[in-house]
Structure 1
Amino acid sequence: MPTDPRGLRGEAPLLDAWLRFHEERPTPFTIPGHKQRHDLVGDVVAGDVPLYAGLDTMKLGAGVLADAEARAARLWGADHCRFSVGGATHANQAVALALGTDGDEVVVSRTLHRSMLVGLVLAGLTPVWVRPDLDAATGLPLGVPPAAVTRALGEHPAARAVLVGDPSYVGTVGDVAGLAAAAHAHDVPLVVDAAWAAHFGFHPDLPPHPLQLGADAMVVSAHKALPAWSQAALVLAGSTRIDRARLDAAVDAGATTSPAGAILASTDAARALLERDGAELLGEAIAAVSAARNRLADVDGLVVLDGAGVDPLKLTLLLPGTGADGIAVEDDLLAAGLPLEAAERDTLVAQVSLADTDGTLRRLTDVLTSSVETHRGPPRAVVTGAAYAVEPVTAMSPRAAFFAAAERVPLDRAVGRVSAELVAPYPPGIPVLAPGEEVTRDVLAALAEARAAGVRIAYAADPRLDTLRVIRTDAPRRG
């Protein structure tokens, strides 16, 4: 169902301001330096309009951003909303800064994105780790069980908050209502990194979004399931357990003072589209994914993640039963112009949004089916993702480790030392090793397994991972 974006402008103040800027074509004596000329570096700067002296006056006299954020808060049923042009990464780190003080403990899901782990470093928070259950049949993570949060809060009664990621990167959905109840029983907020769930709550076949299930705050990406620019995200808070002034200060602390107006306008436009046409567009996309799942279910040995605990817009496939190598399948898809969100030996993840149609899904499934048959081999056992199962051994706080004196040692000599850096397979960016944790043989085995499966190991200072930065043995242990 194509829509005319100009038809949204009456309901999207930032979009209206972006369109008006192009209609009026001012001659700016402000940044950005391209001054709207496309003859210098080309159309790569097309659409780049600043917020200050662009979408609004330099003094923000029109209040278009505040208006757009208030509309988003109303749509998601929140008390407060802030837009981010730094993606869910900036939003997660802002939430971390809003929760406690240096040295405070927070209960944290080990499957959270590395951005929140860096947020703990910035805020000086100490994690109390909880892990998700793993599905025995697929090896994929399910939600964090509420009982694990209850147990962690009982053992750490001074903890200031509970932070989880839901849905997971592969689309599994946990018991957010149960997690909220567990957190609130100890009078602490539940914060959900729902980066992949901006569409939740806007169609009857979708799960409710975290605020509807009792969460106190959530982060959503507008550029994943919704049609916004890359880096578009929102922070939404809905309870008095989150200090609004502190959250505002935290968002501002990490935000650029030159926000890209196109990202902000696209966030506002995506919100207006979701409000006006979301149910219809999402219904079409959900039906297309359902049909794609049915077609792929006919491929012998291919496991298609499905059911009540799975995001209806996420298409996650497990290949071990086919014997095909996911990297070879990915190569075929790339050659056909069909890049995936994630691909490794055993798992493929296709991200679907409300921009997709039955036609795009049919093309994907046709090439996928053909490729799997081309690369079919003897079935192999499902390997439980070691990255999800590693038990972290905390030796010092992430912040203390991040700033401690460090040295680089060969990987095989790092066992027993304390890591100074964060190391994660990417995607999905879930850490196997965080600053302040002991390097164990299980950690090294998980990293080796990920590399063997064709996953890129990210964030380490040595991209080949021949060496690792560890805390010097003469460094003082603080925290």
Structure 2
Amino acid sequence: MPTDPRRLRGDAPLLDAWLRFQEEAPTPFTIPGHKQRRDLVGDVIAGDVPLYAGLDTMKLSRGVVDEAEDRAGRLWGADLCRFSVGGSTHGNQALALAVGRPGDTVVVARTLHRSMLLGLVLAGLNPVWVRPEVDPGHGLPVGVTAAALEAALASAPHAKAVFIGDPSYVGTVGDVGSLAEVAHRYGAPLVVDAAWGAHLGFHPALPPHALAAGADALVTSAHKALPAWSQGAIVLARSRRISRSRLDAGVEATATTSPAGAILASIDAARALLQRDGHALLDEVITAVASARRRLERVAGLVVLDGPTVDATRLVVVLPGTGADGNDVEADLLAAGMPVEMADRDTVVAMITLADTRRGIEDFALALVEAVERHRGPARPVVSAGVWSVDPVVVTSPREAFFARRESVPVERAVGRVCAELVAPYPPGIPVLAPGEEVTVDAVDALRAARAAGSRIAYAADPTVRTLDVVAE
């Protein structure tokens, strides 16, 4: 169902402003410095229109951003909506600044993205960690349970907020409604990092979005599940438990003062498309993914994530029963021009969105089957990755450890010391170690295992994990 973007311009004020800039072709005496000249550095700057003196006047007198954010807020049922050109990273950190003060305690799902953990550093918040359940059948997380959250809040009854991620990186979804009920009993707002779930709530085969399920704030990436430019994200909140002024201040404190108008316009266009044609586009994709899953389930030993706890648009397979190595499978898919969102030894994650086509999904499933069969070997047991299972041992606050004097030591000598850096296999970018935590044998083993399985160790000073930065004694 191709859509002429001009058909959306009446419903998308930022898209309309972007198109109008292209049509009028002004001669700007403002930044950006390329002045729309493609003969200098090429088409790499094509479409780059600033917000200030581009989509709007330098004084923002047209109010196009406010209008676009208001439309998105109404669509998701939020009291406050802010667009971001800094991805969900920006939204997570703005919300960390909005909910508490330095020294306050918050409950945080350990499988949240590193951006939230660094948000704790920025805001000076102290985490009480809660882990999602892990399904032993596939070794992947299926969401934080209400009972686990209840236990965490009982240990920290004065927590200022609860932060969870839903859907997960691998497309599993939890019971956000039950989590909201538990959080609210303790007077805490529930903040959901739904970076991978901007499409949720817009088709009956999908779970409701977090706000509809009772959450107080939602961060989502318009560039992940929707067809926006990279870095486009949306922050949505209800003001009963989250201060509008504090959230606005948090957004402004962490935002660029030169936002890319093209990213903003693409967020607005993606919202308009979702509102107008989302159901039909998602319907085609969900049907195609269901067909692909049935094809993949016929492959001996291959586990395909499915069922009510899995996003109906996501295609995730677990390989140990086939004996194939996901890194080899990924290499074949890359050679076929089909890069995937994630691949390690045991798992392949394909990100499918409403921009995909039935034929493309069918071709991918066929290529995946052929690659698995090509690399089939002796079956091995399913082992949950350390990123999902290592329990952190908190020694000091993330902020204190982040700013402490640090030293680099061999990893064997780091065991028992306080970690001063954030270390995470990527993807998914979820930390095994964070500032302020004790370096344990389990954490070191998990990092070594992730690296041996083909993951890149991100954010660490030494990505080989031969050394770690620890708080100096």
TM bucket (normalised to shorter chain) is: over 0.9
- Matched residue SS, 1:236: strand
- Matched residue SS, 2:141: coil
Matched, 1:214 2:214: yes
CA-CA distance at 1:333 after TM superposition: 0.3
% same residue? 69
CA-CA distance at 1:391 after TM superposition: 1.0
Aligned to 1:450: 450
- Matched residue SS, 2:163: strand
CA-CA distance at 1:238 after TM superposition: 1.7
Aligned to 1:337: 337
CA-CA distance at 1:227 after TM superposition: 0.3
- 1:102-127 per-residue CA deviation (whole Å, 9 max, x = no partner) reads 00000000000000000000000000
Aligned to 1:425: 425
Q: Counterparts of 1:414 and 1:251 in 2: how far apart (Å)?
A: 37
Q: Which amino acid aligns with 2:85?
A: V
Aligned to 1:183: 183
- 1:64-84 per-residue CA deviation (whole Å, 9 max, x = no partner) reads 000000000000111110000
Aligned to 2:204: 204
Q: Counterparts of 1:160 and 1:18 in 2: how far apart (Å)?
A: 40
Q: Counterparts of 2:296 and 2:145 in 1: how far apart (Å)?
A: 30
- Matched residue SS, 2:236: strand
Q: Counterparts of 1:328 and 1:111 in 2: how far apart (Å)?
A: 26
Q: Counterparts of 1:453 and 1:28 in 2: how far apart (Å)?
A: 51
- 1:408-436 per-residue CA deviation (whole Å, 9 max, x = no partner) reads 00111100000000000111111000000
Aligned to 1:54: 54
Aligned to 2:308: 308
Q: Which amino acid aligns with 1:198?
A: A
Kindly indicate whether the alpha-carbon contact (under 8 Å) linking 2:340 and 2:348 is maintained by their aligned counterparts in 1: yes
Aligned to 1:288: 288
Matched, 1:99 2:96: no
For structure 2, the residue ranges without an aligned partner over 5 or more in a row are: none
Q: Counterparts of 1:379 and 1:467 in 2: how far apart (Å)?
A: 34
Alignment of 1:112-191 (within 5 A): 112-191=112-191
Q: Which amino acid aligns with 1:61?
A: S
Alignment of 1:263-412 (within 5 A): 263-412=263-412
Q: Counterparts of 1:200 and 1:208 in 2: how far apart (Å)?
A: 6
- 1:156-195 per-residue CA deviation (whole Å, 9 max, x = no partner) reads 1221000000111001111101100000001110000000
Kindly indicate whether the alpha-carbon contact (under 8 Å) linking 2:85 and 2:263 is maintained by their aligned counterparts in 1: yes
Q: Counterparts of 1:12 and 1:308 in 2: how far apart (Å)?
A: 33
Matched, 1:75 2:85: no
Q: Which amino acid aligns with 1:162?
A: V
The 4+ residue runs of structure 1 with deviation greater than 6 A are none
Q: CA RMSD in A?
A: 0.6
Kindly indicate whether the alpha-carbon contact (under 8 Å) linking 2:448 and 2:465 is maintained by their aligned counterparts in 1: no
TM-score, L = length of structure 2: 0.99
- 1:12-44 per-residue CA deviation (whole Å, 9 max, x = no partner) reads 000000000000000000000000000000000
Q: Counterparts of 2:375 and 2:385 in 1: how far apart (Å)?
A: 23
- Matched residue SS, 1:275: helix
- What number of residue pairs does the alignment pair up? 473
- Matched residue SS, 1:223: coil
Kindly indicate whether the alpha-carbon contact (under 8 Å) linking 2:447 and 2:465 is maintained by their aligned counterparts in 1: no
CA-CA distance at 1:389 after TM superposition: 1.0
Q: Counterparts of 1:192 and 1:423 in 2: how far apart (Å)?
A: 23
Q: Counterparts of 1:410 and 1:56 in 2: how far apart (Å)?
A: 54
CA-CA distance at 1:404 after TM superposition: 0.3
Q: Counterparts of 1:130 and 1:283 in 2: how far apart (Å)?
A: 34
CA-CA distance at 1:452 after TM superposition: 1.3
Matched, 1:413 2:413: yes
Q: Counterparts of 1:48 and 1:386 in 2: how far apart (Å)?
A: 41
Aligned to 1:16: 16
TM-score, L = length of structure 1: 0.98
**Which range moved further: 291-300 or 9-18?**
291-300
Q: Counterparts of 1:373 and 1:131 in 2: how far apart (Å)?
A: 35
- Matched residue SS, 1:317: strand
- Matched residue SS, 1:457: strand
Q: Counterparts of 2:376 and 2:88 in 1: how far apart (Å)?
A: 38
- 1:321-379 per-residue CA deviation (whole Å, 9 max, x = no partner) reads 11111000000000010000000000000000000111111111111111111111011
Q: Counterparts of 1:432 and 1:418 in 2: how far apart (Å)?
A: 13
Q: Counterparts of 1:151 and 1:378 in 2: how far apart (Å)?
A: 41
CA-CA distance at 1:382 after TM superposition: 0.5
Aligned to 2:85: 85
- Matched residue SS, 1:40: helix
CA-CA distance at 1:239 after TM superposition: 3.6
For structure 1, the residue ranges without an aligned partner over 5 or more in a row are: 474-479
Q: Which amino acid aligns with 2:428?
A: P
- Matched residue SS, 1:213: coil
Q: Which amino acid aligns with 1:361?
A: I
Aligned to 2:109: 109
Q: Which amino acid aligns with 1:151?
A: A
- 1:416-467 per-residue CA deviation (whole Å, 9 max, x = no partner) reads 0000000001111110000000000000011011111111110001122211
Aligned to 1:240: 240
Kindly indicate whether the alpha-carbon contact (under 8 Å) linking 2:162 and 2:190 is maintained by their aligned counterparts in 1: yes
Aligned to 1:438: 438
Q: Which amino acid aligns with 1:357?
A: T
Q: Counterparts of 2:134 and 2:52 in 1: how far apart (Å)?
A: 47
Alignment of 1:460-479 (within 5 A): 460-473=460-473
Kindly indicate whether the alpha-carbon contact (under 8 Å) linking 2:158 and 2:186 is maintained by their aligned counterparts in 1: no
Q: Counterparts of 2:384 and 2:59 in 1: how far apart (Å)?
A: 54
CA-CA distance at 1:147 after TM superposition: 1.2
- Matched residue SS, 2:133: coil
Aligned to 1:476: none
- Matched residue SS, 2:179: helix
Q: Counterparts of 1:367 and 1:207 in 2: how far apart (Å)?
A: 29
Matched, 1:223 2:223: yes
- Matched residue SS, 1:462: coil
Kindly indicate whether the alpha-carbon contact (under 8 Å) linking 2:83 and 2:264 is maintained by their aligned counterparts in 1: yes
CA-CA distance at 1:298 after TM superposition: 1.1
Q: Which amino acid aligns with 1:297?
A: E
Q: Which amino acid aligns with 1:267?
A: I
Q: Counterparts of 2:185 and 2:147 in 1: how far apart (Å)?
A: 12
Q: Counterparts of 1:182 and 1:471 in 2: how far apart (Å)?
A: 36
- Matched residue SS, 1:134: strand
Q: Counterparts of 1:300 and 1:314 in 2: how far apart (Å)?
A: 21
